[in-house]
Structure 1
Amino acid sequence: MSGAQPSLRWRLVSRLSLLQAIFLSLLAVLIVAALWATGSFISLQPEDETINAISQSVGRDQNGTLVLKETPALAARRGNLPGLWFTVRDRSGAVIKDGSVPPAYEAIGSALDGIGQARFGSNLGGSAVPAARLQWVSSPAGEVQVLTGVDGSVSPLRVLGAMGIVFFSALLPLLIVTAIATVIAAPLVVRRAFSSLDSAVARAEQIDINRQGTRLPVDDVPREILPLVEAVNDALSRLDEGYERQKRLFSHLAHEWRTPVAILQARLDGLPAGPLKERLFEDTVRLATLAEQFLDLQRLNHRFEPASVNLVDIAEHVVSELAPLAIAANYEPCFIKDEEAVEVLGDRVAIERAVANLVQNAIQHGGRSGRIIVHVGRATGITVTDEGSGIPQEERDRIFEPFHRLPGQGKGFGLGLNLVQEIARLHGGKVCVIDGPAGGAAFRLSFPTAG
């Protein structure tokens, strides 16, 4: 589900990158505009259009004489500049004049052959000399010197070309460098800002019902997110308090429950033997078992120091304790061991309760006939087998859920097998259901062996 949620981290990175790109682009445009306005970056002169149109109109006839052809570009400049004038001169001294050439420029000739380009004009002494531009350029007739006035405008194509030069030579490299820096730096900055949240997430993953007191760290948490972290910690505190009250209540109820059950068992002992006494005895045992199971729930919440225990001794003790109940229910209890000792690391009381729950489960659901076999082996652990109707394949995973009972079996409270599974899990072991040799149910409880 988390993969479908939007990423706040990458949302911040993308928005930060976009905002940075916009500001840098605006800054670059302003810088270029300022340089352009002051003539420090690139300068588009209107006479460049005229000189280019003139140079492309110059050619030579069959005799090699310079001639002027009326090209569309030259005609367009004539239309835009009614007073257009110019002179064209090649290296041999041949000259073409067009329009009314100002007298100040009539005598310009070979004296300027060594000058690539120049700008002229004056307003001194009361006589104004119009501005002009001289430039040697390439033409279909070879290299020629063009001298013309500076009036006119720059065409949109030249403006776009100049803008392209500005973009690709200055703005684009700046944007590329900025984009690379942003892609590298922005995630680092955001990751650094989220590092405190990562530690909070790691701590949150450790929160468990058996780990009361766990709180999210508030060190270095951003001020904007601190209220959320503090609210979660306050909620965890309330949950811990409620859980402690619930544990105390269950523990108190379980202890209080044992007293009237013990009194009831003592009074049953005084009744004459008979089927009714046996039934009442079984029901009383069920009540006692329920009380013990509630106590087991509380014990599972406390950590234990693992010690070496012998599964053979535990299983043999449970069978001897529950043999009268099994015999009274018309079963034949049977204990089988492959060897004298099978050592595991664990809590003896907890493992003993797990085995007792398996035997009691067999007594309740074994069909009230046949044998109940408790087998202990190093490779298999403890296996409790009955000769009843067995457990359907589709129910074998669900029977370990708390308060789950098989259809049609009203006895039991659905806690015993769940407790067995929890005890096995706390010991690093497991419990599973297999088919019994006589068609009944077989529960196998296994633990990692010591050593």
Structure 2
Amino acid sequence: MMRGPSLKRPLIVYPLVVHLLTLLVSVLILIAGALRIDSGGPYTDERIVPIIAAAIDRDPSGALVIRPTDDLSTLQAETPNLWFMVEDDAGNGVTFGTVPALFESFRGRLSELSFAQLRDRTPPHDLAAVLRRETTQIGPLTVLGHGALSELNLVVLLASSVIVVPIILLLSITSFAITPWIVRRALAGMSRIAREAEEIDPDRRGRRLSEAHVPREIAPLVRAMNDALRRLDEGHERQQRFIASASHELRTPIAVLQSKVDSSADPVVRALGGDLQRLTILTEQLLDLQRLAQGGTATEVDLVALARSVVADLAPLAIAGGRSMEVQVLRREACLGDAAALERVLMNLLRNAIDHGGRHVVLRVIGRTLEVQDDGPGIPPDQRERVFEPFYRLRPHSTGSGLGLNLVAEVVARHNGRVTIHSAPDGGTIVQVDLGVPAQGMSGMTAPDAPGRG
């Protein structure tokens, strides 16, 4: 069986792929645009600020002094034109290197600033500087300094790595985690509809799929399904009414014909008796199927008494055909079911055994299991399923209608039981009917009312 297309791709996978591609293209466009912008000169590397701040100390009078450190010595060696100004919040300051005259006006006011990145477009870019506030052991300090220079492309790449990449990862993780959950939640109504559809039973008509909590896009499909179920129910009702009406209308003329055939002395007319009998059986079986479709009431059935009653009713037919019948009770056990329907099951099985079996028929009761055994030619294994199909006859020229075993299968199915065919040990056929399922699980039948309590 070919698997149909899944909604996961158009609803989950495709939107996620488009979402990620859009983010990636946007980032690339942003980086490309930033790289084309005139930078106005290189940046001063901000890493010089903590190195400078760590080298600042106070003398006994509280003035700021520069304390030589290994990091500062390394920075000075890497940047020969290193210069910086440092001030505390009280206006005390200290300088290092040759501070450009442009920044002399900042003396005593650095603490009023907190952040700046100054660029110089003219080589050697001595005016490029960075300003930051740092918290140190001697208190907050404001540092303005010039050191190693960085080009714009490096800054952009660093910014994209530090800011953009985490954003992309966060959006990706969020999308992969939340989007499937949102889709599953939106389609939860579809799962419930599928479960309701699986519970639709042809023997329990009138069921409809619920339209509550179904997405608007799916609601037309659900309504179409309900309309189809309604039309099927109406067609089934018309069919049942036709079968019932036709069967009832046929009974009277068949009875009249049977009376005329029985009273006729003409051998040609009397030869029609077999055909009329077959027509009578067919009519009765059609009525049985129609009554079965209407359902019945589950009551406690004594299978032993039922078996003996049916055998007694069919005894004249068996004797007329030169057959013998017996009832064997191996275990007696009460059973809940439709007594009239189960009687038709035994009638059809025993009539088949009398008509097509051997000389001896045994009806065996084993608790809730019934077995009808004959010593006839048997049923080939490849035909044992087909004989339960409506109007199928193992022997095309037999007098049967082809509905008897189909009716048996329908009744047993409504009792949630099963009927199987086996070969008898000494030849012949055993038809086994298992009615072991409790009555509360039977379909198409209502349980008897519980007795009231006074």
Say if 1:297 and 1:422 are closer, same or farther in 2 by CA, change over 3 A.
same
Q: Which amino acid aligns with 1:377?
A: I
Q: Which amino acid aligns with 2:245?
A: H
Cα offset, 1:357, TM superposition = 0.8
2:234 aligns with 241
Say if 1:119 and 1:365 are closer, same or farther in 2 by CA, change over 3 A.
farther
**Residue 187 of structure 2, aligned match among 174, 182, 194:** 194
CA distance in 1, matches of 2:82, 2:422: 115
Q: Deviations over 1:118-166 (max 9, x none)?
A: 88989xxxxxx95433599xxxxxxxxx999x9xx96xxx94x655534
Q: Deviations over 1:255-299 (max 9, x none)?
A: 22222232233334435799995x654433322221121112222
Cα offset, 1:352, TM superposition = 0.4
Q: Which amino acid aligns with 2:298?
A: P
**Local SS of the residue matching 1:242:** helix
Cα offset, 1:245, TM superposition = 0.6
Q: Deviations over 1:42-100 (max 9, x none)?
A: x795699xxxxxxxxxxxxxxxxxxxxxxxxxxxxxxxxxxxxxxxxx99x99xx9xxx
**Residue 276 of structure 2, aligned match among 284, 304, 309:** 284
Cα offset, 1:365, TM superposition = 1.7
Unaligned runs of 5+ in 1: 49-89, 98-107, 123-128, 137-145
Aligned partners of 1:133 and 1:147 also within 8 Å:
no
Aligned partners of 2:285 and 2:404 also within 8 Å:
yes
1:18 aligns with 17
Say if 1:273 and 1:177 are closer, same or farther in 2 by CA, change over 3 A.
same
CA distance in 2, matches of 1:364, 1:11: 63
Aligned partners of 2:258 and 2:273 also within 8 Å:
yes
Cα offset, 1:304, TM superposition = 2.4
Cα offset, 1:201, TM superposition = 2.1
Q: Which aligned pairs between 1:422-441 and structure 2 lie closer than 5 A? A: 422-441=410-429
Say if 1:260 and 1:165 are closer, same or farther in 2 by CA, change over 3 A.
same
Say if 1:115 and 1:243 are closer, same or farther in 2 by CA, change over 3 A.
farther
1:231 aligns with 224
1:262 aligns with 255
1:300 aligns with 292
Q: Which amino acid aligns with 2:275?
A: D
Cα offset, 1:337, TM superposition = 2.8
Cα offset, 1:349, TM superposition = 0.5
1:376 aligns with 365
- Give the aligned length: 369
Aligned partners of 1:119 and 1:131 also within 8 Å:
no
**Local SS of the residue matching 2:411:** helix
Cα offset, 1:342, TM superposition = 3.8
Q: Which aligned pairs between 1:294-373 and structure 2 lie closer than 5 A? A: 294-328=286-320, 330-338=321-329, 341-366=332-357, 370-373=359-362
Q: Which aligned pairs between 1:71-110 and structure 2 lie closer than 5 A? A: none
Aligned partners of 1:121 and 1:131 also within 8 Å:
no
Cα offset, 1:234, TM superposition = 1.8
Cα offset, 1:195, TM superposition = 2.2
Report the RMSD for the aligned CA atoms in angstroms. 4.3
Cα offset, 1:114, TM superposition = 6.5
Q: Which amino acid aligns with 2:182?
A: V
CA distance in 1, matches of 2:84, 2:180: 65
**Local SS of the residue matching 2:420:** strand
Say if 1:162 and 1:312 are closer, same or farther in 2 by CA, change over 3 A.
same
Cα offset, 1:248, TM superposition = 0.5
Q: Deviations over 1:172-212 (max 9, x none)?
A: 22111111111111112112221222222222222232222
Q: Which amino acid aligns with 1:132?
A: P
Q: Which amino acid aligns with 1:375?
A: R
Aligned partners of 1:306 and 1:347 also within 8 Å:
yes
Q: Which aligned pairs between 1:383-398 and structure 2 lie closer than 5 A? A: 383-398=371-386
**Residue 243 of structure 2, aligned match among 247, 250, 259:** 250
Give the TM-score normalised by structure 2: 0.68
Give the TM-score normalised by structure 1: 0.68
**Residue 219 of structure 1, aligned match among 206, 212, 220:** 212
Q: Which aligned pairs between 1:104-143 and structure 2 lie closer than 5 A? A: 115=96, 131-134=123-126
Say if 1:437 and 1:117 are closer, same or farther in 2 by CA, change over 3 A.
farther
Unaligned runs of 5+ in 2: 45-72, 86-93, 104-120, 130-145, 440-454
Q: Which amino acid aligns with 1:372?
A: V
Q: Which amino acid aligns with 2:434?
A: S
**Residue 444 of structure 1, aligned match among 432, 450, 454:** 432
